[in-house]
Amino acid sequence: ALRNKIKFYKIEPAHIYNIDKKGFIIRAIRTIHNVDSLLLSRSAHTDKVSKANRAWITLLACICANGSALPPSLIYEAVNKGIQLS
């Protein structure tokens, strides 16, 4: 069925792409100065520290039916999330 449509509309392999995405979390490691070890041992505080140092990133990979590929692209988490909601 797909092969017939490609032939009918004369679509060349150079115009057929497949995109795959993979999302993952990266964590930034920051040096904390003058922090009491007792505070770091509390789970609530450590949870706040770890949430502040992570970001969601999506990697896009795209390959063409003729065997060529586009360079991978990275999509970072939006700084102003209000823009995405509009």
DSSP of 32-73: --S--HHHHHSHHHHHHHHHHTEEEEEEEEEEETTS-EEEEE
Longest distance between any two alpha carbons in the chain, whole Å: 71
- Residue 84 pLDDT greater than 50, yes or no: yes
Q: Which residue is listed with tokens 């490691």?
A: 29
What's residue 70's pLDDT?
93
Q: Which of the pair, 10 or 38, is modelled with greater confidence?
A: 10
Residue 34 confidence class, pLDDT cut points 50, 70, 90: very low
